């Protein structure tokens, strides 16, 4: 897999990734309603997508990915409640190799565009 495939056309200036612990309870509030923030986690890394209201804001196409770890939903390319429910959306343990590739491609896509503001922690 080539890295440049995920490079944005216009270069994005990113901050150094942060390693602050963020709980699922805190993440769920970063949904543009309970707070102004729009966060999406992939593989436990939390991305700040607040700047992209068009794609992720309330009422937008991809709002169902926001405020949760969306690894599973992204790997399966599903926006339906069965994959985006935060109780399951983080769990990529049962994904096929192909689905894991898709998930990892999305991870690279996000990593090249959005700041990492922390990582999911249990406490």
Task: Please tell me whether residue 22 binds ligand HEM under the rule CB under 6 A.
Answer: no
Task: Please tell me whether residue 62 binds ligand HEM under the rule CB under 6 A.
Answer: yes
The span of 16-24, 71-79, 88-96, 115-123 binding ligand HEM (CB under 6 A) equals 71-79
Q: HSE (CB half, 13 Å, CA atoms) of 69?
A: 22
What letters, b where the CB count within 10 A reaches 16 and e where it falls short, cover 10-20?
A: eeeeeeeeeee
Kindly write down the DSSP assignment for every residue of 16-59, as one continuous string.
PPP--EE-HHHHHH-BSSSSS-BEEEETTEEEE-TT-HHHHSTT
Applying CB under 6 A, the site for ligand HEM has a residue count of: 8
Give me the phi and psi of 47, to 5 degrees please: -105, 140
Instruction: State the minimum distance, in angstroms, from the CB of residue 95 to ligand HEM.
Output: 13
Instruction: State the minimum distance, in angstroms, from the CB of residue 87 to ligand HEM.
Output: 17
Among 27, 74, 116, 120, binds ligand HEM (CB under 6 A): 74
Nearer to ligand HEM, 26 or 63 (CB): 63
Sites of contact with ligand HEM (CB under 6 A): 52, 55, 62, 73-74, 77-79
């Amino acid at each position: 897999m080539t890295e440049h495939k995920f490079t944005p056309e216009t270069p994005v200036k990113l901050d150094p990734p942060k390693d602050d612990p963020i709980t699922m309870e805190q993440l769920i509030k970063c949904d543009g309603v309970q707070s102004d923030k729009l966060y999406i986690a992939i593989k436990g890394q939390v991305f700040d997508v607040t700047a992209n209201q068009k794609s992720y804001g309330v009422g937008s196409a991809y709002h169902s990915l926001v405020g949760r770890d969306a690894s599973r939903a992204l790997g399966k390319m599903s926006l339906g409640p069965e994959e985006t429910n935060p109780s399951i959306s983080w769990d990529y343990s049962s994904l096929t190799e192909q689905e894991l590739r898709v998930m990892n491609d999305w991870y690279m896509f996000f990593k090249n565009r959005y700041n990492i503001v922390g990582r999911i922690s249990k406490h």
